[in-house]
């Protein structure tokens, strides 16, 4: 199924790629690889703040991870024009703001990973690391960076 | 010396690549690069839990880092079939579960780095970052991800 | 403007690439990509210790990030001989030692990002992730790793 159709079925509208507001850019392409900058989870257009293991549940974290995956897909679409040109989601780094003792970063990360597979099918199956960090910029609960191979 | 012989000399038996249990895969190859997912340290087949600087010594951390390097080599072998096809270990990211005040992540990471050099010789000399994080999935003390160049 | 001239204008003297002191190397080149190892911020030749949000201000963090960017440029020069051969700064990972509640990692990271753009111009505009971690090796306040595309 074409990716745009799949997105419609999932009722997902990709955001426009946010224009750079700092000394860095949302993505860089080198050869067939696109390196996408770390994106933070947002809710209602604002940073989705919180910390896993301190007032935020794993399920909420999964929703945040899914939300940031949508942001990243929007940037990826801005990078290549048409998501059909994405040959493979290569690698995700999922950074989960965590209190000591919270050890379900992999479950939080699945919120993003599963969406990539739903949208991209086999091309969405990626290598991944998930880790618990102290903070992300703006106090967001999840941050996500990605490497993709494009045509 | 062939890598398999070197592994025998070191009395290391590589594990089979663990089949994917989630929405991601153990590795992705793109061009000549293999991106290996974050692997956590295990002992007796279970997550090697603990935190450096909180009841776990640097030496124990080094052993855990060495153990996870063996896991990663198993996945790399699963990825390319024959480790002789690995042209270069390119980059390691060594994530060490750390209490504030523990600043020997580089020494912990050497447990992995030195094994790669022992096994792969010059091809095993890699770029590396070592950092102290709050938690890894399952409470493991060390997590390791890798990029390798293959033939 | 040639990069060396730009560096003179900024009164920046790049350090020699520090020779490897461990089981890893300062950089690895694979194809047209150079992966530079994590470098820690230094001041007067020693680790620039401290933690953001715990006795260290965002401005001081920016200075440290700028300092470590200079270290990384020194390594990059060692890697390619002539910085004019750098076609693109592809990706920065900026690791900021952070106390819980410090959420300005992006501002700290700008200390590095802005210098790359000053020195390399358009070629210096990079993808980036900035995160808050518990500790870096030697207790340094900022650690930086980089991927660059070279000719």
Which residues are CB-neighbours of B123 under 8 A, at least 6 positions away? B86, B87, B88, B89
A130 CB neighbours in chain B (<8 A) are 38, 137
What angle, 0 to 180 degrees and rounded to 10, lies between the N-to-C axes of helices C58-80 and C105-120?
Answer: 40
A126 interface with B at CB cutoff 8 Å: yes
Containing domain of residue A81, as a range?
32-150
Residue of B nearest to A102 (CA): B135
Asked if the C-beta of A150 comes within 8 angstroms of chain C's C-beta atoms, the answer is no
> Contact C37/C24 with Cβ under 8 angstroms?
yes
Go through chain A and tell me how many residues it has.
151
* Exposed e or buried b per residue across C55-71, where buried means at least 16 C-beta atoms within 10 angstroms of its C-beta: ebebebbbbbbbbbbbb
Give the closest-approach CA distance of C135 to chain B in angstroms: 5
ipTM of the complex: 0.95
Q: What is residue B49's predicted lDDT score, i.e. its pLDDT?
A: 98
Q: Is B27 on the interface with A (CB under 8 A)?
A: yes
Q: Long-range pairs for C29-32 at CB < 8 Å and ≥24 separation? A: C29/C79, C29/C150, C30/B32, C30/B33, C30/B88, C30/B90, C30/B149, C31/A31, C31/B31, C31/B32, C31/B149, C32/A30, C32/A31, C32/C87, C32/C149, C32/C150, C32/C151
Digit-coded pLDDT (tens) for C9-68: 989 888 888 776 678 999 999 999 999 999 999 999 999 999 999 999 999 999 999 999
pLDDT of residue A21 exceeding 70? no
Under 8 Å CB pairs connecting chains B and C tally to 89
Q: Report the pLDDT averaged over residues B86-97.
A: 98
Give the pLDDT score at C143.
98
pLDDT band at A106 (very low <50, low <70, confident <90, very high): very high
- Beta-carbon contacts of residue C143 (< 8 Å; ≥ 6 apart): B129, B131, C38, C39, C40, C41, C68, C94, C95, C136, C137
Structure tokens at C127: 């993808």
| Pairing verdict, β B142-150 and B86-97 | antiparallel
Interface test with chain B among C25, C31, C137, by most B beta carbons within 10 Å: C137
Residue C25 and residue B127: Cβ atoms within 8 Å?
yes
Q: Please judge whether A128 and B31 are an interchain contact, meaning their C-beta atoms are less than 8 angstroms apart.
A: no
Q: What element of type H or E holds B142?
A: strand B142-150
Neighbouring chains to C with at least 3 Cβ pairs closer than 8 Å: A, B
Q: Write down the H helix ranges in B13-80.
A: 58-80
**Residue C12 within any structural domain of the chain:** no
Higher pLDDT pick, A23 / B146: B146
> Could you tell me if residue B107 is inside a domain?
yes
CB of C58 within 8 Å of a chain A CB? The answer is no
pLDDT mean over B1-10: 89
Cα B97-B15-B116 angle, rounded to 5 deg: 60
Residue showing tokens 């000053």? C118
Q: Shortest CB distance from B135 goes to which of A102, A117, A129?
A: A102
Q: How far is C22 from chain A (nearest CA, A)?
A: 25
Spatial separation of the C-alpha atoms in residues C73 and C66, rounded to whole Å: 11
Share of chain B above pLDDT 70, in %: 98
Question: In this structure, what token pair is assigned to residue B134?
Answer: 């709050």
pLDDT at residue A49, as a whole number: 98
In a domain, B140, yes or no: yes
Instruction: Give the ranges where chain B is alpha helix by DSSP (H).
Output: 3-9, 58-80, 105-120
What is the signed CA dihedral for C9, C80, B93, A132, rounded to 10 degrees? 30
Total tally of structural domains belonging to chain A: 1
Q: What does the mean pLDDT of chain C come to? A: 94
Measured between CB atoms, does A26 come within 8 Å of chain C?
Answer: yes
CA distance C99 to C33: 34
Contact (CB, 8 A) for C16 and C74: yes
Distance of alpha carbon A40 from the chain centroid: 8
Instruction: Specify the pLDDT at position C149.
Output: 98
The pLDDT > 90 percentage for chain B reads: 87
The pLDDT of residue C20 is 64
Q: Which of B2-6, C61-65, C69-73 has the lowest mean pLDDT?
A: B2-6
CB-nearest to C35 from B100, B104, B127 is B127
Q: Does residue A8 form part of some domain? A: no
Hey, are the CB atoms on B103 and C25 less than 8 Å from each other? Answer: no
Does the beta-carbon distance from C113 to A37 stay under 8 Å?
no
Residue C34 lies inside a defined structural domain of this protein = yes
Looking at the partner chain, which of C24, C30, C135 has a beta carbon nearest the beta carbon of B88? C30
Rg of chain B over all Cα atoms, to the nearest angstrom = 15
Closest CA to C64 of C101, C98, C88: C98
Two structure tokens written together for C131: 């995160």
Chosen from A75, A135, A146 to mutate, greatest number of chain C CBs within 10 A: A135
Q: What percent of chain A has pLDDT over 70?
A: 98
pLDDT in tens, B17-45: 877 667 899 999 999 999 999 999 999 99
Let me know the angle formed at the C-alpha of B90 by B86 and B93, rounded to the nearest 5 degrees: 125
Residue A27 belongs to a domain: no
CA nearest to B112, candidates B129, B99, B98: B129
List the single residue in B with minimal CA-CA distance to C97.
Answer: B132
CATH of the domain at C37: 3.30.1330.40
Q: Which residue has the tokens 């952070």?
A: C98
Chain B residue at shortest CA distance from C35: B127
Instruction: Tell me which residue of C143, A138, A76, A128 sits closest to B137, measured CA to CA.
Output: A128
């Amino acid at each position: 199924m074409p990716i745009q159709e799949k997105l419609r079925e999932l009722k997902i509208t990709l955001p426009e790629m946010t224009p750079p507001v700092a000394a860095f850019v949302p993505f860089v392409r080198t050869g067939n690889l696109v390196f996408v900058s770390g994106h933070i989870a947002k809710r209602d257009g604002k940073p989705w703040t919180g910390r896993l293991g301190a007032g935020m549940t794993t399920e909420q974290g999964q929703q945040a991870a899914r939300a940031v995956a949508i942001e990243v897909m929007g940037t990826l679409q801005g990078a290549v024009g048409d998501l059909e040109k994405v040959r493979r989601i290569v690698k995700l780094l999922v950074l989960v703001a965590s209190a000591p003792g919270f050890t379900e970063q992999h479950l939080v990360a699945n919120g993003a990973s599963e969406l990539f597979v739903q949208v991209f099918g086999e091309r969405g199956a990626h290598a991944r690391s998930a880790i618990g960090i102290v903070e992300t910029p703006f106090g967001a609960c999840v941050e996500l960076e990605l490497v993709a191979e494009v045509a």
